Structure formats: C-alpha cells, structure tokens
Structure 1
Amino acid sequence: MTAGRVAVVTGGAGALGAAIGEHLTGQAEVVLLADRDLDGARERSENLRGVEACYLDVADDESVQALVETVERRFGRLDVIVNNAAVTAPRGMEALRRDDWERVMAVNVWGPTALCRKAVPLWSSTRAGGRVVNITSRTWLSGGPIAYTSSKAAVVGLTRSLALELAPFGVTANAVAPSMVATPFTRGDRSEEEYAAFEAKHLAMTPMRRFATPEDIAHAVGYLASEAAGFVTGEVLHVCGGAQLAPAP
C-alpha cells in the first residue's frame, strides 16, 4: 500500500463498485465508495478498513464539485478515480425516448468527464500523478442497447482524450471493458425466461465458458490503478474471457 493514497470509486453501492473498492484497499489508505444510494454505499463499506461511503450524483455538477472539494479539504490529494457509475435505458430503438438518452449520457459520459475536470486543479497543484480508470463495456465493439452502447463507446473516446489531456500532470487514463457480469444491473427488467435466454447466449459466445465476476473486473482495475501501470495510458483492457472476439448475441 502506498501511504496516503486516496481513491474514489463511483457507483460504489453496486456489486462491481464494491468489489473494486475492496480490492483497492491494498493500494490506497482511503477508498471512497461514492453513490447516490448513500445507504447502499454505507452497507458496502461496513467492516472494510479504510473504506468510507459518500454521496455523489455524477450527473449533478454541484455534487461532483462538492465531492472534490471534500477530498481536497480532508486529504489534499486524489490519486485514483474509478468511473464505474452507469445507468441504462430501454433496449429497443422504438422504446427509447430522448430523455432516456440524455439521462444515460449524463451519467455514463458526462459524469466521468465532470469528475476528472473538477480534479484537474488538484492534480495540477500537487503534481503527484494519478490514475483514472473508466468502466466501459465490450458492447462498444459489438453493438447492443442503443443508448447504453453509444455511451460506452463514448467512454472509450473519452479515455483516449483524457490520456492526452492528463499526461502533463502525470495522470494516466485507461478503461476496463467487461463482458457480462451477473448482477442486478445486468438483469434489469428482464423476465426469468428472458434473462435465462440472455445468459445462455452470452455463455455460448464466451470461449472460456463462464461469466465475468466482480472480482475479475476489480483485479483489472487494480492493475491499471497501480504503480506498475505507470507508463500505460489510453488503453482498453477487455475482461471478457475471449468474448470480445465474438459477435453480439
């Protein structure tokens, strides 16, 4: 563990965010699980040494500003940002409305952008370097639900752009692209029958014949957030068991 290192994980109340946060305790002195669901984040952080819960709505600029100001006031540094918070929308084009689209883009694309943007003055003043890890999805390669997939493709472009903009501060920016992880978020509003068919299709297209786990994703994030990845930036690491090589189900 690097003494004094501070990490923020958005979407920290979810299964993926919680697993990432727990894994990062091996690299950071303080890990903040940030989420609109503050009670959920608090529940995830219980009994985890060095892990705290805090409120954050990534689509609300004032909320983002408040979080960064709190981190600066309390710790004077911000070493790792994991942009994990995400929402989705109706899957079919005919069911998609403009406000669905705008909500997905506000959370999935503007949220990571805003958080990094607000952190720039802190990175600029400390010159201590840092890591940004964005959670995208293998759907950026294959296609999928229109709003969600478009947002995750945008996150790849955002990651590459951040890599260029943040390099002068010694901050790297990379992305992790998981395949299917069996969580409530993935299940969404599917019926039992629909979800069973969805699982079967994803399993069939995965050469390693299993789904990703939150821990699989957390280990990939941990590498990109570590000192070992200090000269890796602008990359997308697929954690898919080979599913990134297959067409969409």
Structure 2
Amino acid sequence: MNRMVGKVALVTGAASGIGRASAVRLASEGAIVICADRNLAGAEETASGLSGASAVQFDAASAASCRDLVAHVVARHGKLDVLCNIAGIGGFGHAAEISDESWDQLVAINLSSIFHLTKAALPHLEKTQGNIVNMASASGLVGAAYASAYSATKAGVVGYTRTVAIEYAARQVRVNAICPGGVDTPLIAGGMGDIEGVDFALILRMSPKMAPLAQPEDVAAAVAFLASDDARFITGIMLPVDGGQTAG
C-alpha cells in the first residue's frame, strides 16, 4: 500500500517496540518518517533501514524538548502531516506503594508530553489537514490491577484525545487513540515479577481472549490505518487492539 506517499510523519518512541514498528510501517507505505526518542542510538537504528527517514533525540518529559522537536520537523520538511505520540513508560506496583517520583515521571512522559507535542503541532496540522494518533491503553479504558499510576495517565490520554478531536473536527484535524492490551515490547518486560503479594485472579480479569500477547506490528497496522486517508471520517475514537481484553 502507498497510503502515506508525500506525508511527513513524526513518530515518538521510535527506538523500540510499538514506536519502531509504527515508523517502519508508515515508511513502508511511503511516509517520510522522523524517528524521535531519548534513545538516539535506537532511533538511528530504526531510521537507518527506512528510505528518507531521520532520527532526532528528544526528552518526552521536557516541555521545551517537545516544542523543539515539532519546530525541528517543520523547519526541515516544511510541514507536518501526522503526529504519532507513542513514547511512553510502564509502571507497576501496589497503589499505596507507588512513589511520588514514579507518579511524576509517568505523568510527564505518558500524558504531559502528548499535551506539549499536540499543542505545538496543531497549527501545522491545520495547514495540512493532518491528524494525530495517540497511544493510550486498554488500561485507560478499564481498571488494571497494580497499574494505578499508569492507568491514570492512559485514561488521561483517552480524555484528552476525545476533547481535542471535538475541538478540531471542524478544522479538519483528526485525533484518535489506540488502546493496546498486552504487547510483546520492552515496556512490559519484567512485568509484575518484582511485586509482592500479587493476586493473579485480578490480573486474569484483564487477560486477552485470543493469543497471550500481541506483537508491535499488530498495533502499528492500526496506527497506519488511523493515520491514512482510509480513516478520513474517523476522529475521536479509542481503538482497542487487545485481543478482547476489554470486551467483557
């Protein structure tokens, strides 16, 4: 497919996991992809195999870095068509034992970065009638035991996505989010192995009904669809890619 030919797409979190898979998928469909990550070596590795792609280091926890990233993309390419907010971190633990530092870091990277990047990108996306694909989570749609802080940030992404979608629909800027369930990525590596007193019955309630874990490419396919003109009349949706985790 060549759905993204001529489009400039900024993908954060592109050094690994869903971000890398999304960068690869968008490039395969013709997009000029900017691979952004705090891990510059990983972003460069992703970009090196993609035609016309480039890598940029940025800090998702820094408002200034987020603004500078968007400015860099527009200065270099003259426009921005797609913003994929995929950079994120995980965090597991009993609700009463999550540290202030962990909470602040999760909010900064998983939620505030999307605010800062979106705010900077919207004027440019209006010019191109572009779109935004945010990475939420199944944990942002329903409760997930031992992930209270993480779930709170992803629920924030859900609310923010819906609201911006409403505000910018008449301006022809689409804003959607994907809600993955368990995905085989570094983010969940190690999972809950270090948490004492885990009630696995609570975890099994959020288990997928299909295969145990999705692959990053499964989510990247959804990213590419929502970023493309095939989804031209879709905005404000939270698309689960979770093997039925949130189906009931």
* TM-score between both structures, scaled by the size of structure 1: 0.88
CA-CA distance at 1:202 after TM superposition: 5.7
CA-CA distance at 1:89 after TM superposition: 3.0
1:216 is matched by which residue type in structure 2? D
Whole-angstrom distance in 2 between the partners of 1:10 and 1:104 = 16
**C-alpha deviations, 1:26-45, integer Å up to 9, x for none?**
34431111101111111122
Matching residue of 1:140: 140
Which residue among 189, 207, 211 is the counterpart of 2:209?
207
CA-CA distance at 1:190 after TM superposition: 4.5
In structure 2, runs of 5+ residues without a counterpart are none
What pairs up with 1:223-234 in 2 under 5 angstroms?
223-234=225-236
- SS of 1:101's equivalent in the other structure is helix
CA-CA distance at 1:78 after TM superposition: 0.6
**C-alpha deviations, 1:77-107, integer Å up to 9, x for none?**
1111111111233421222122221211111
Is the 8 Å Cα contact of residues 83 and 121 (structure 2) preserved in structure 1? no
Whole-angstrom distance in 2 between the partners of 1:214 and 1:89 = 19
Whole-angstrom distance in 2 between the partners of 1:108 and 1:232 = 23
Whole-angstrom distance in 2 between the partners of 1:181 and 1:203 = 17
In structure 1, runs of 5+ residues without a counterpart are none
Is the 8 Å Cα contact of residues 6 and 28 (structure 1) preserved in structure 2? no
CA-CA distance at 1:123 after TM superposition: 2.8
Whole-angstrom distance in 1 between the partners of 2:185 and 2:194 = 14
CA-CA distance at 1:120 after TM superposition: 2.1
Matching residue of 1:149: 151
Whole-angstrom distance in 2 between the partners of 1:207 and 1:134 = 24
Matching residue of 2:16: 14
Which residue among 114, 121, 129 is the counterpart of 1:119?
121
Once structures 1 and 2 are overlaid, which stretch shifts more, 80-89 or 202-211?
Answer: 202-211
Cα RMSD after superposing both structures? 2.3
Note closer, same or farther for the CA distance 1:175–1:30 as it changes in structure 2 (3 Å cut): same
CA-CA distance at 1:121 after TM superposition: 2.4
Percent identity over the alignment? Answer: 36
Is the 8 Å Cα contact of residues 33 and 41 (structure 1) preserved in structure 2? yes
Note closer, same or farther for the CA distance 1:29–1:221 as it changes in structure 2 (3 Å cut): closer
Matching residue of 1:219: 221
Matching residue of 1:94: 96
